[in-house]
């Protein structure tokens, strides 16, 4: 390999360059389901970052769909609300579902369920590494839900869905959903 500069100078030839790619997702960087950055626009595009369907209803903000602002989706609920985002992608190369989330008051983990890959649990009932459970606070945090340990199918995850019919009245803000190692 040789380099050429604007003055017409040529470098001494180097040894051949070898490039290797890894089709299994690289060094654990992961894939994003949605980062709510406005591309595609939620809810008008009805698409997530995987170019699959997404939407919500019955929330008390955003005409029922929730509101994206500052790169986060805020879902305001009063014992009613449903959010869904199609995954329908094999995520076997990944270990975790990561939800970057905060609550308006903290403690919202008992206000909604999360369904993915054949598993439905109240969000606070998911088991984390080390045996703990998710606890939503008023500051953003990455909640890493181990897929296999929670019985979530990685080959057929289907749709990520959240239901807010557990008597709660608050709001949560989700910065992103992703799958990582």
* Mean pLDDT, residues 157-169 taken together: 97
**What gap in Å lies between CA 19 and CA 40, rounded to an integer?**
32
**What per-residue confidence (pLDDT) applies to 143?**
98
- % of the chain with per-residue pLDDT over 90: 84
Tokens of 72: 């986060």
**What per-residue confidence (pLDDT) applies to 42?**
97
* More reliable by pLDDT, 3 or 12: 12
**What per-residue confidence (pLDDT) applies to 12?**
55
**What per-residue confidence (pLDDT) applies to 55?**
98
Contacts of 124 (CB under 8 A, 6+ apart): 109, 110, 133, 134, 135, 136
Is residue 133 within 8 Å of residue 145, measured between CB atoms? no
pLDDT at 166 over 60: yes
**What per-residue confidence (pLDDT) applies to 13?**
52
Average pLDDT of the chain to the nearest whole number: 89
**What per-residue confidence (pLDDT) applies to 29?**
75
Among 6-10, 29-33, 79-83, 143-147, the least confident range: 6-10
Nearest of 173, 96, 84 to residue 127 by alpha carbon: 96
For the stretch 100-124, pLDDT in tens is 999 999 999 999 999 999 999 999 9
Q: Which residues of 90-104 are buried (b: 16+ CB within 10 A; e: fewer)?
A: ebbbbbbbbbbbbbe
In this structure, is the dihedral angle defined by the CA atoms of residues 129, 132, 136 and 137, taken in order, positive or negative? negative
For the stretch 31-75, pLDDT in tens is 999 999 999 999 999 999 999 999 999 999 999 999 999 999 999
């Amino acid at each position: 390999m040789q380099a050429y500069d604007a003055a017409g100078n040529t470098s001494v030839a180097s040894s051949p360059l070898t490039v290797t790619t890894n089709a299994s997702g690289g060094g654990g960087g992961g894939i994003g389901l949605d980062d709510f950055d406005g591309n595609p626009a939620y809810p008008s595009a009805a698409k997530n970052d995987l170019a699959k369907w997404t939407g919500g209803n019955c929330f008390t903000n955003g005409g029922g769909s929730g509101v994206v602002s500052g790169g986060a989706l805020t879902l305001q609920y009063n014992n009613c609300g449903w959010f869904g985002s199609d995954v329908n992608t094999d995520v076997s190369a990944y270990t975790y579902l990561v939800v970057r989330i905060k609550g308006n008051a903290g403690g919202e983990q008992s206000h909604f369920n999360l369904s993915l890959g054949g598993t439905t649990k109240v969000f606070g009932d998911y088991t984390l590494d080390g045996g703990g459970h998710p606890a939503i606070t008023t500051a953003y945090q990455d909640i890493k839900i181990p897929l296999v340990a929670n019985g979530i199918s990685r080959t057929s995850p289907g749709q990520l869905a959240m239901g807010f019919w557990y008597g709660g009245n608050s709001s949560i803000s989700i910065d992103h959903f992703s799958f990582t190692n």
